[in-house]
Structures are given as structure tokens and as C-alpha cells.
Chains A and B, each alone.
Chain A
Amino acid sequence: MHTLKLDGVSSGYNGKPVLHDINFTASESSVYVVLGPNGAGKTTLFRTIAGILEPMSGKVLLDGKEIGSAKEPRGSINYLSHYNALPDEMTVYNALRFYSGMEGGDPDRVIDLLGLEKLRDKKISDLSQGQKKRVSIGKVFLKERALYLLDEPTANLDPGLSKEIRDLILKLSKDRLVLYSSHNLYEASDIGMNLILIKEGKLAMFDRISNVRSKEYRVGIRASKDITKIVDARKDANGYYVLTVSKPEEAGLALKKVVESGVLVTEMRELDNPLQELFDGKGGV
């Protein structure tokens, strides 16, 4: 088990702080989703934790060791930037060899793991954006680390591959810390157990995603009959009976009432994502 601690960290560029007094301790082996609008400071947070940017004040500690100029704790971190950081002139295999030469690891294992066999001898410059992203993600799996910092790892990937990558990351997170930023809120709630919300360079929330509560929940129900006379619902253009409740438990009670009326319920889903409200500044715990 590993522990990442940020103690009063302020950081930025050219002497101008972007992050202000960030404090949190992440010690649960899981995915911590880092959310925040564009320019909030997510990438700056990752760069500071990775030791790329030196904090203007405060400390970043991994397992009690300060990450700064020391190489040892930084060797326990893998940072996937939203830049692909791939040498265009190399083949996929050589690019992975290039990085394994710097940090260790087995490129052949990565090629098998991410299904890169067909791309193995292709030049990076000849790959599509999605394929480049896939190879770039390969760097993450070269060597096992204590902490992974993944800045929008599934951007530009098709849904199928995104799912595969998320599954691999979830597997990774079983005994490691993973900080994962995404603009896809459904992906975030799907993969993340904990939430780090950054707004205007400040830590707006650090909590379990399950503790994130909405002021209201919209639930969509597909049923064999009209249920608007049984519960307070309206039918939307997609064929869902939309129920608006203030707590998730109320949705369960409504469903029970519908089923007890002899209506066959074929589908029930949450129509909104509580994380969306965090972006809009309405959410809370």
C-alpha cells in the first residue's frame, strides 16, 4: 500500500502560481479521478506530483519521501502526459525500446498486452492519433510503479479500446495509486472510487465518488405500459418515463410501486451524472 501526500502545495509557471495550497492524502489503492474545468490546474497538479514542476511552497510526499529533485521517489511514478511523447521517426517497437532503455521494462510484453502486434513495425509518424495514444499508453505498462498519473489517457480512443484501457487501469489500481483525469464524466464515475475536484487552482473536493450527492436525480424507466398514472413521471422523446426524485432511495420506492401494479419494467437508468453538477458548481456531499 502506498501513500501520496500533498502538504500545502502551491505550484505554477514562471513564478505565477496555478495551484494554491493543495492538501490531500491518498492512501487507498484505487483510481482517484481528477476533475476540473479546462485551465483549473489538473495538468499542473500532475506535473507537480511527478516532480516535473517544483512546488513554489509545500511538499509532495510519496510513501513519506519528498518528491523533488531526488530521483528515487520519482522512479516510483509514471506520468502519462496528454502529449504522446513519442519519437515520430521510430517504429512502434523501437519507440517502446527507446523508453525501456530509459526506465526498464519489456516492450514485447507491452505489445502483447495492448494488442500492438500489427503496429509493431509501423513508424509512429504513420499512425493515426488514436493509434499514437495507444502506443503512448504502452509506456505506462512498461514497468510497475507505485503511483500512476494519467492525464486524459483515453482521449482520441474509440469506445472499445477506451473500455479495454480502463479495465487495464482498474487492474493496475488494485494495489497501487492511480490519479486519472478525464473530461468524460461517465467514464470518471465508471472507473473512479475517489474524487479530486480542482477549481481555479484550489482543491474544491476530495472524497469518495459514492459520497457525491445531487440535489435531484432524474431516473429513466422503460416499461411495458404507461406509468404516469402510477408515479409522478413524464415520458421523454427517447421513450423513457422520467422520474425526478430528491434521493436515490425514492427511485427504488417508485420502481417498487410500478412493479407491484403489474407493469413490466425493461430498463431503469440514471439520466444525469452527479459529477456534472460539480462542474456546474451545484454539487456537494
Chain B
Amino acid sequence: MAQRMKGMASGNPSVVTAKRSMGISKTYAAMTAFFIILAIAAWNPAYYSHAAGANSTTSNSSLVSNVLSKAVPSATGAGAPGGIAFLAVPLDVIPGIMVSMAVLILFVYDKNSGVLEYMLSLGMTPRDIYMRYLKAALLLAAPVMVIFAAGDILYISALFGTATAATLLPVQLITIPFSLAVVTFMVIAMMAFSSLQKTRAGSNQPIGLVVGYAATIPAYLTAIFLPFSKAMYADIVLAVVIAIVSLSFLRYSGKLIKREKFLP
């Protein structure tokens, strides 16, 4: 038992931070599971059925997907997979965001309880601290997104057949790096806004959430206005841009956000 306890509190700092996050915010784990199920069973089939042209899949698709397939125009015409399938990409970041919220809760908690101040006194820089929590968020979000993508592929195969699932595979494959890029951006934005808030009960953290999620807006536009193949490349470019912006902020965070902002 002692060994197990030792393992919990020592070792890789990001693993410890990730475990602590899950320990204090179990609700977010439950919410993550809920959104994974909702995405796999409800909204993704709707976009996919429309994007696949609803040829052989009409009989299997849900009422929601039928309604959507009529309501949302395909950018490429009937019979070809539409870029609208890529609406799944910005929406599917939600489970990743949800699970990393627990890390953000921990960040604010550690700031208020003086843990961050103690870390600074040990010689950590603001960037070290941000990296610690960011890595923890990515450690939680990455497996969630991989499991989610795998579950999505399996469900789509069962629902529409393996051929359709293979056609839509790029969507799930892009969802993983895109989600991790958005999670990186959102976590950094939320930590930065939390660092800047003057009062403990301030509401800057949700501002970070809104700013972070705003990064996904271009992905909605590419899904609506571009054909499948172009939407795919556009989302890859978007993921790279979001990641570069996030990591650039992280690199200069020490200069942009002063150490005093980490004090309780």
C-alpha cells in the first residue's frame, strides 16, 4: 500500500498533476464519458450520413441525420463525401476540453492555496508551471481522443459499413491532433486569464474557455464551405497554426505574465 501511495505523489510531475486533477474533479471524468457517447451515437452519425451522400446509408441513419442531410447543403454535390463531415472535427474537441477542464480547476486551486507560489520559490518559472499543467491536460486529453476516435470508427463501421468508415477515416484521424492543438490553446488561454484575475472568485477562467473554443470557429467554416479533400487539409493547417500560436505564447509567457500573477 505504501508503494502505491508513493507512486501517486511522486514520479513524473505531469502524471502526478493529471492524477490530482482527476482526484479533485471526478465530475469532469463523468462529463467526458457523456460527451464521448453523445458524439459517437448522435452528432457524428448525422454529419457522416450527410457527407457520405446518404446513398446506402439512408435506411440505417437516424431521424436526426435524415433531417440534417436535407437541411445542410453538400459542398460537393450528391454522391460524393461532403466537407460537412468535418463538422465533427471542431465538435469532437469537446470531450478533450471537458477532461482538461479538471486540470484548469486544479491550476486555480493550486494558485489560491499557495502551491504555485511554493513552486516559484523552488525556482520554477511561469513557463515551467504552465508546462506542468499543460502536459497534464494533454496526458488526459490524448488517450480520451484516441479512445473516442477508435469508438467512433467502430460505431460508424457498424452503422454504415466498413467502406463508409474507411472513407471517413481522415475525419477521425484529424480530430485527434486538432483536438490536442485546441486543448493546448484553451488550457494556456485559461491559465493565462486565471493568472491575471485579481480576486479569487473572479470569472476570468471562463473567458479563457471562450477564447480557447473560439479557435475552432475556422474549422466550422472549412467544413461548411470546402469539399471533403480540401476541408481535410484546411483542418490540418488550422491545427498546426493553433499549436504554433499556443507554443509561441508559452515560450514568451515568462515575459508576458509576471511571477506575481501566480501568488494567492
Distance of A231 from chain B, by nearest CB (Å): 53
Interface size on B, residues (CB 8 A): 29
Please report the C-alpha to C-alpha distance between residue A69 and residue B259 in the assembled complex, in whole angstroms.
10
Contacts A74-B123, A101-B16 given; indicate if A81 touches B118 (C-beta within 8 A). Answer: yes
Given contacts A69-B125, A74-B122, contact A85 B13 (CB under 8 A): no
> Is B115 part of the binding interface, using a Cβ–Cβ cutoff of 8 Å?
yes
Q: With A53-B259, A91-B5 in contact, do A139 and B118 touch (Cβ < 8 Å)?
A: yes
User: Does A133 count as interface, using CB distance less than 8 angstroms?
Assistant: no
Q: Is B68 an interface residue (CB 8 A)?
A: no
Interface residues of B in 1-41 (CB under 8 A from A): 5-6, 8-11, 13, 16, 20, 23-24
B5 touches A53 (CB 8 A): no
Chain B residues, CB < 8 A from A283: none
Residues of B within 8 A of A130 (CB): none
Q: Does A98 interact with chain B (Cβ within 8 Å)?
A: yes
A51's partner among B118, B121, B263 (CB-CB below 8 A) is B121
Q: Which residues of A contact B117 (CB under 8 A)?
A: 47, 52, 81, 83, 85
Q: Which of A61-109 contact B (CB under 8 A)?
A: 69-72, 74-75, 77-79, 81, 83-91, 93-103
Which of B8, B13, B20, B125 sits near A102, CB closer than 8 Å?
B13
List CB contacts (< 8 Å) of B49-63 with chain A.
none
Contacts of B8 in A (CB 8 A): 90, 94, 97
Whether A13 sits at the interface, judged by CB under 8 Å, is yes
B114 near A: Cβ within 8 Å? Answer: yes
Distance to closest chain A CB from B105 (angstroms):
11
Q: List chain B residues, Cβ under 8 A from A54.
A: 258-259
Chain A CB within 10 Å — which of B11, B113, B125 has the most? B113
Which of B5, B20, B114, B119 is within 8 Å of A97, CB to CB?
Answer: B5
Chain B residues, Cβ within 8 Å of A98 = 9-10, 16
Closest-by-CB residue of B relative to A75 is B123
Q: Are the CB atoms of A77 and B114 closer together than 8 Å?
A: no
Set of chain B residues within 8 Å of A81, measured between Cβ atoms: 114, 117-118, 121
Specify which chain B residues have a CB less than 8 angstroms from the CB of A94 in the assembled complex.
5, 8-9
Given A54-B259, A98-B10: A83 in contact with B121 (beta carbons within 8 A): no
Sample (10) of A-B pairs whose CB atoms are under 8 Å apart: A51-B123, A53-B260, A54-B258, A74-B121, A74-B122, A84-B114, A90-B8, A96-B9, A97-B10, A98-B10
For the complex with contacts A52-B121, A97-B5, 11 further pairs of A-B residues with Cβ separation under 8 Å are A71-B123, A75-B122, A78-B121, A81-B121, A85-B113, A85-B118, A88-B24, A89-B24, A96-B9, A98-B9, A102-B119
